[in-house]
Chain A
């Protein structure tokens, strides 16, 4: 049983093994292992592996209310296929002016030049859960070029309520001492349990 548990412990990610491997092996030596423990080791190793290799990780997140809207700053770490990681830094400002709205997004992916997107929208007719808006989008690139697009877009009205609920979850979770990434995982776990 101990031998099998030690073999399964090798499934933990390399970084985890480097930090906890020796003391974890010592614990496996000390404990009278059951089949349930062995299964638990395999499950925990796989969970740790999924967390560290495939899922993006929220490194930092800050949100604040501003007149008629809010601002959001995020730093998210995305794993690449070759094992390296890429940081994506983002800033979002949404302002609702009643009949219209303005959204400003500034983002930088890894070492690539940053890009800014400004969307000005005029609210239109509502049908069911959707509203048809007239928007103007400006993409401001680091090389100085600006791409301007006018289009009619359908806006999902439930998005605002979902966004506000998520902001509240992050706000209360961070107040309780959880990291943004832990809150993200809790939200994902809760969603996966929904029927």
Chain B
């Protein structure tokens, strides 16, 4: 799972986060370090699709984002698909 948009959705599924918090969270749970350019490329695409939205913040500069219901649905579908692949892969490796 290294698609930046999916990683951002997975990070926001836990709660609202700004860019730096997302980078740290993604590195922690996925072991992937997204650079600022890649991260904001993903944020731009996700906001254009309507899957995330800017959340309220008291910080003028650090903008947190929140997951929209459509984004949550997409993440659920993708995680379910990945789960199928992981289970099939593990089963086949055991039989190999």
Contacts and interface: CB of A to CB of B under 8 A. Distances in A.
Interface of A: 5, 16, 20, 22-28, 30-31, 33-34, 36-37, 40-45, 47-48, 176-179, 182
A45 B48 CA distance: 17
Contact of A41 (B36, B43, B60, B70): B36
Interface of B: 18-20, 23, 35-41, 43-45, 48-49, 51, 60-63, 70, 73-74, 77
B23 A41 contact: no
Nearest to A26: B61
Contacts of B45: 182
A33 B36 CA distance: 9
Contact of A36 (B23, B35, B39, B61): B35
A26 B49 contact: no
Contacts, number: 70
* Interface residues of chain B: helix, strand, loop or mixed (majority): helix
Contacts of A45: 37
Contacts of B62: 23, 26-27, 30
Given A178-B49, A179-B48, A179-B49, A37 B19 contact: no
Q: Which of A31, A43, A47 neighbours the largest number of chain B CB atoms within 10 Å of its CB?
A: A31
